[in-house]
Chain A
Amino acid sequence: MNSVKLRKLVLPLALAACGLSASQAGAAVFVQCPGDTNGDAIPDTAVDPSVKCVHLAAGDGFSTMADGKVVYGFGFADITGVAPADAINTGLLAANFSAPTIELKEGDKFYLTLTNVGMVIRPDLFDPHTVHFHGFPQQAPVFDGMPEGSFGVNMGSSVTYFYNVLEPGTFIYHCHMEATEHMQMGMLGNLFVRPAQDGTPIAGYTRFAYNDGDGSTGYHKAYPLQLGSLDHNFHDSSEAVQPLPFAEMRDTYTLFNGRGYPDTVNPGALPTPLDPDSGESKNFGNQSQKVSSLVTLDRATEGTRLLLRFSNLNVTNYYTVTALGLPMRVVGGGAHIARGPDPDGAGPLQGKDLYYDTGSVTLGGGEAVDVIVDTAGLPAGTYFLYTTNFNYLSNNDEDFGGMMTEIVVQN
């Protein structure tokens, strides 16, 4: 632990030294956000209300599996609001798993700054990082975060990605640097865009998955649920500076939003991961698993229709999930409404509805599906949402855990 503490102290100094020697703004924490005057990624002066800024740190940290196993990983932390001088210190050993959820609205001009804070546990790795906004339409390589066709950002530096957000839907984001490794290590998060139609009352709804024109994708409450899984042997090898077993990769923990059942139904953030020997935090007190997967719906006050924004960002398997006792209606996928091609562009016609009712959905890595669950007329109670790949319904050796959560329908 002492060496880790030392590294936490030394790394920012080393990175600061790099910044001092730089002649341009690139090799330092450099946040770009219109209207922001102090670099904390929050506009200080009046700006176009469509401007949205986020500052993410890319680094490392630990997470706790539902059987108590603590695993090392890479990830992102939300350091929006942190002054540039404190950005690296704040981002160290602060990796979130899942990554911070990014919520956007159609029409946003999204400025996403990524600062590479370095790896405290793996100082021998000087890996760059990226953000790949997966599914962003009409993308150009410079902001795609696919480093073979553009670039990754080095330790101690920042890049600001710009996205003119025109398409609603459920997207995902992840690091694309050495993608198999950095994604297995956990640099994965939810990202969705609410449609311009939101706020317009149609068919009794004011919130919609897509610009449907008829309220057919309307809902009362939405949850992003990212399917995932990890191979703890791969993570342990990384922590122990061993060769990485790509060919032997076999995921042992399955997850929703970075947690296995029953941790999925903890409504808050999980406590900071603890060293089993010393009892001290492995992350210097930082919490890493902040995204709950507990779905609740109070029909007396909230309404009856749920939108479940499913995505899958594991790197090994397809998973099927079912919501036992609840109807599922697929209304979109791949950040597109489930509708055929528009026959006349801006004209009055629209594509054919491809919605379908189902009891389960299957997703491979990099897929997203929008599911409406209408609870009207159904008894109140706790419903289970889980993978039907039962061999994966576990926390490693511990049975009946993993990719499962609860949908609590009240009254």
Chain B
Amino acid sequence: MNTLLHILPRWLGMAATLLLGGMAGTAWAVIDGVSGPTFNLTAKADYISAADGNYIYAWGYANGAGPMQYPGVTMIVNQGDTVTVNLSNELPVPVSIVFPGQQGVVSSGGVTGLIEQEAPAMSGGVPGTVSYTFTATHAGTYLYHSGTQPALQVEMGLLGALIVRPAVANQAYGHANTRFDHEYLFLLTEMDERIHDEVELLVAYEQPVNVDTSIYKPEYWFINGRNAPDTMLEPDTPWLPTQPYNSMPRMHPGEKLLMRVINAGRDLHPLHTHGNNIWVLARDGRMLESAPGTGPDLAFSDFTLRTVPGETYDAIFEWTGKGLDWDIYGTNLAHTCNGKSIGQAQDPGAPTYDPITKEYCADHGKTIPVVLPNLQGLTTGPHYSGSPYLGQFGNLTPGSTLLNENAGYFHMWHSHNEREIVNNDIFPGGMMTMLIIEPPGVAIP
């Protein structure tokens, strides 16, 4: 393959579009889900696909009459909404929903459960029902899950995300320091197939669902209900009918990417962000602020986010390539930084970054100070464009697979307890996806 394509010239044409479109409210659409404030969920059973080809019996909260889904419907509401969740239960066991982090949840109908009113098991073809109502007083990222025998039912898949948005668009919370350009959900879970197989048999033979959940040995790890590499497929892929959500974070240099992270599993998962540190702004739907109104002044920076079962986190990731000491757009193609060509000095007091490409102008025109090995000495990965430069393609070994449409930079985001980035005995997989830093001008939904 000898495709010295490049998309750099596209910038000129797309610069105007970028300036207009970059700040538009399209980023709201990136987290797939259902907007409230009223939700009709149905607890039902079906199968999900693991990325190694296995299929696993699971329970999930469907959207109305839609297919069972894992995770459950991502519920998206606005701060201050009166949220109503009507639950219909088609499972042979009682089911409920609890909303950690919400106060004043009022239930109606159903039957009394240990910690929450429950929708009774389906009986004679008639689903049991229950309703919950609460006011979403605080913006943030939250988990919801079954409050009925949760050791079993949450493992089976009865869980989901609740996102409460503040009044101001493109902010995670009601403070300007939580502004973002793109937002993505990272709902982390794992599964022990044995439990699912046993439940499937007991249900099939109409036996009481008594399964030992104290012995736990997961083989599958998920982001938003999919194992890598399925995490990177399109949302609503036809061949994953019960796993509608993907995890494909994308951004341009200089943008702020909001990570809404939820650990809905049993184990702690260290989420490592290749590319740069993140700033963790909030935990469990509360800004890390020293006093009301200060904004997230107690935010912390880290390269691996420790996620604890049941906790949620909001974090901001940014990337510009600042200070690499070489020009990320290459010295082989003409381009400007603050209007200056390669070799031209910056004006005194010029901005640190180019206003359009966000190039760090102090590194403009600097060559990479080492020679890269020739292809004979390398095994290239499927997301390597063949060039070290953002937005350029280069030579690849004949027969190489290239899964990088725009010559973007791919950074793996994954559990750093790396036994969790396999699918059963197959590497790679599991709790892993890729961030794509796309060249300027590439449209990101």
Nearest-neighbour CB distance to chain B for A117, whole angstroms, equals 13
- What are the residues of chain B within 8 A of A338 when measuring CB–CB? 300
- What are the residues of chain B within 8 A of A183 when measuring CB–CB? 418
Q: A24-32, A197-205, A295-303, A376-384: which one contacts chain B?
A: A24-32
- B374 — nearest CB in chain A belongs to which residue? A26
Nearest-neighbour CB distance to chain B for A307, whole angstroms, equals 18
Give residues of chain A (20-49) contacting chain B, Cβ–Cβ below 8 Å.
22, 24-28, 30, 32, 34
Q: Are A134 and B384 in contact (CB under 8 A)?
A: no
Q: Mark B353-370, 1 if CB is under 8 A from A, else 0.
A: 000000000000000111
Q: Is B298 an interface residue (CB 8 A)?
A: yes
Q: B33-41, B62-70, B320-328, B333-341: which one contacts chain A?
A: B320-328
Q: Are A135 and B277 in contact (CB under 8 A)?
A: yes
- What are the residues of chain A within 8 A of B279 when measuring CB–CB? 341
- What are the residues of chain A within 8 A of B288 when measuring CB–CB? 340
Q: Are B381 and A148 in contact (CB under 8 A)?
A: yes
Report the Cα distance A317→B322, complex, angstroms.
34
* Contact (A137, B277) CB under 8 Å given A148-B434, A244-B425, A334-B302: yes
Q: Are B419 and A316 in contact (CB under 8 A)?
A: yes
Nearest-neighbour CB distance to chain A for B54, whole angstroms, equals 11
Q: A81-89, A156-164, A218-226: which one contacts chain B?
A: A156-164
Q: Are B381 and A315 in contact (CB under 8 A)?
A: no
Q: Are A164 and B298 in contact (CB under 8 A)?
A: no
Q: Are A147 and B379 in contact (CB under 8 A)?
A: yes
* Contact (A180, B419) CB under 8 Å given A148-B412, A154-B378: yes
Report the Cα distance A163→B323, complex, angstroms.
10
Report the Cα distance A174→B378, complex, angstroms.
18
Q: A63-71, A92-100, A359-367, A395-403: which one contacts chain B?
A: A359-367
- A157 — nearest CB in chain B belongs to which residue? B377
* Contact (A150, B380) CB under 8 Å given A32-B370, A316-B417: yes
- What are the residues of chain A within 8 A of B299 when measuring CB–CB? 340-341
Q: Is A52 an interface residue (CB 8 A)?
A: no
Q: Is A351 an interface residue (CB 8 A)?
A: yes
Residue from A30, A147, A317 with most neighbouring chain B CB atoms (10 Å): A147
Report the Cα distance A343→B368, complex, angstroms.
33
Report the Cα distance A144→B435, complex, angstroms.
14
Q: A245-253, A255-263, A264-272, A282-290: which one contacts chain B?
A: A245-253
- What are the residues of chain A within 8 A of B374 when measuring CB–CB? 22, 24-27
- What are the residues of chain A within 8 A of B325 when measuring CB–CB? 109, 162, 164
Q: Are B373 and A315 in contact (CB under 8 A)?
A: no
Report the Cα distance A41→B319, complex, angstroms.
32
Q: Are B302 and A336 in contact (CB under 8 A)?
A: yes
* Contact (A179, B277) CB under 8 Å given A111-B370, A354-B298, A365-B416: no
Nearest-neighbour CB distance to chain B for A247, whole angstroms, equals 5
Q: Is A240 an interface residue (CB 8 A)?
A: no
Which listed residue (B277, B373, B424) contacts A247, Cβ 8 A? Answer: B424
Nearest-neighbour CB distance to chain A for B437, whole angstroms, equals 9
* Contact (A138, B370) CB under 8 Å given A364-B270, A365-B416, A366-B270: no
Q: Are B434 and A243 in contact (CB under 8 A)?
A: no
- What are the residues of chain B within 8 A of A244 when measuring CB–CB? 425
Give how many A-B residue pairs fall within 8 Å (CB-CB): 239
Q: Are A317 and B417 in contact (CB under 8 A)?
A: yes
How many residues of chain B get a CB closer than 8 Å to chain A's CBs? 68
- What are the residues of chain B within 8 A of A362 when measuring CB–CB? 306
Q: Is A9 an interface residue (CB 8 A)?
A: no
* Contact (A246, B426) CB under 8 Å given A22-B376, A26-B376, A343-B297: yes
Which listed residue (A178, A316, A340, A368) contacts B298, Cβ 8 A? Answer: A340
- What are the residues of chain B within 8 A of A181 when measuring CB–CB? 427
- What are the residues of chain B within 8 A of A245 when measuring CB–CB? 425
Report the Cα distance A134→B319, complex, angstroms.
16
Q: Is B216 an interface residue (CB 8 A)?
A: no
| Majority SS at the chain A contact face | loop
- What are the residues of chain A within 8 A of B426 when measuring CB–CB? 246
Q: Are A153 and B424 in contact (CB under 8 A)?
A: no
Q: Are B377 and A159 in contact (CB under 8 A)?
A: yes
Q: Is A358 an interface residue (CB 8 A)?
A: no
- B321 — nearest CB in chain A belongs to which residue? A138
Q: Are A247 and B418 in contact (CB under 8 A)?
A: no
Report the Cα distance A137→B318, complex, angstroms.
10
Report the Cα distance A12→B301, complex, angstroms.
45
Q: Is A140 an interface residue (CB 8 A)?
A: yes
- B297 — nearest CB in chain A belongs to which residue? A340
Q: Are B416 and A364 in contact (CB under 8 A)?
A: yes
Q: Is A333 an interface residue (CB 8 A)?
A: yes
Nearest-neighbour CB distance to chain B for A111, whole angstroms, equals 7
Q: Are A142 and B388 in contact (CB under 8 A)?
A: yes
Report the Cα distance A30→B378, complex, angstroms.
13
* Contact (A138, B323) CB under 8 Å given A26-B378, A150-B381, A246-B426: yes
Q: Is B310 an interface residue (CB 8 A)?
A: no
Q: Are A367 and B306 in contact (CB under 8 A)?
A: yes
- What are the residues of chain A within 8 A of B297 when measuring CB–CB? 340-341, 343, 351-352
Q: Are B298 and A157 in contact (CB under 8 A)?
A: no
Nearest-neighbour CB distance to chain B for A33, whole angstroms, equals 9
- A231 — nearest CB in chain B belongs to which residue? B419
Could you list 16 A-B pairs, sorted by A, with CB under 8 Å? Answer: A26-B376, A34-B369, A139-B276, A146-B412, A147-B381, A149-B384, A152-B379, A156-B377, A158-B377, A159-B378, A162-B370, A178-B427, A180-B428, A336-B302, A341-B299, A364-B416
For the complex of A and B, list the 9 residue pairs with the smallest distance between their C-beta atoms, beginning with the closest: A366-B416, A157-B377, A334-B302, A26-B374, A364-B270, A26-B373, A149-B410, A164-B325, A26-B377
A-B contacts besides A148-B410, A152-B381, A364-B270, 19 pairs, CB < 8 Å:
A24-B376, A25-B374, A30-B373, A109-B325, A135-B304, A139-B411, A142-B388, A144-B274, A148-B434, A160-B370, A164-B324, A166-B323, A243-B425, A244-B425, A246-B424, A315-B418, A318-B306, A351-B297, A366-B417
